Amino acid sequence: MAQERRRLLIAPERLAQAADGYVELAADERRYLTRVLRLGPGDGFAITDGGGNLWEARLQDRDGALLEQPLQEPLQRVTPPRPELVLAAAVVKRDYDVVVRMAVELGVDRLQPLIAERTAVLGQLKAERWRAIAREASEQCERLWLPQVADPQPARQALAAAAGPQSLRLWATTRRAGLASLQEVLQQQRLDAPPTALWLACGPEGGWSDGEEAVAEQQGWIPVALGPRILRSSTAAVAALTLVSSWRHGCWSC
């Protein structure tokens, strides 16, 4: 595209129903295009399906838009990032919405909310809200692949399920003398080929329990330190993910 256009994410199943390239818009999409972006008939924007495809489109009327490329021939098509970047972060009482948004902006491909033994949350967990935040953040930072937000899972179960010889699993923990820093562990990696996934696990405000630490060690997670200070859980997750995402980009340009 000669000029970058603001993007709208529309699910593949809805795009598949676009007769002759005409895409019907939902009410919130119409409001976003016409009231937030102030587009009118004939104005252009971009549509992505969250599955690596991008089309140019023009607003036709208040109810729909017309794709400028055939549905089967998108303007841009990219493969999913490899290795996959996964953040397993314990749910916290405040700031988890911010963690989700920043994780998407930093390049996470999958987010696994954890219910740790010392997790203290107020009210119901908000998986659908987190998915909506991930969707909005994905549009804002112009990602073609929509990050997936899993349902919350007990920490022990998630730490065990992530086991696998083809993945690099990093587990942020505290109050352990002589523990290598995340930066040091990343610099020490000598990988001939990208792993299938890069996992980063960050604990709750009260820290991991002894049982959770034992499970992580048994499953081969690599314990790492995040510095000399004790960070808020949300700060730790975002700071650590920034380092891992930057390292992945430097190694594999994704």
pLDDT at 121 over 90: no
Does 238 map to a domain? Answer: yes
Q: What is the pTM of this model?
A: 0.93
Mean pLDDT on 137-163:
94
Nearest one of 153, 182, 166, 184 to 84, comparing CA atoms: 166
Does 2 map to a domain? Answer: no
Percent of the chain with pLDDT over 90: 82
Question: Are 71 and 96 found together in one domain?
Answer: no
CA distance 83 to 65: 35
Question: Are 73 and 90 found together in one domain?
Answer: no
46 and 1 Cβ atoms separated by less than 8 Å: yes
Question: In terms of residue numbers, what domain contains 176?
Answer: 84-252
Query: Of 36, 57, 77, which closes a domain?
Result: 77
* Number of separate domains in the chain: 2
* pLDDT digits 0-9 by tens, 94-106: 889 999 999 999 9
Residue whose token pair is 């972006």: 37
* pLDDT digits 0-9 by tens, 69-114: 999 999 999 999 999 999 999 998 888 999 999 999 999 999 999 9
Question: Are 174 and 232 found together in one domain?
Answer: yes
How many Å from the N-terminal Cα to the C-terminal Cα in the chain? 21
Does 22 map to a domain? Answer: yes
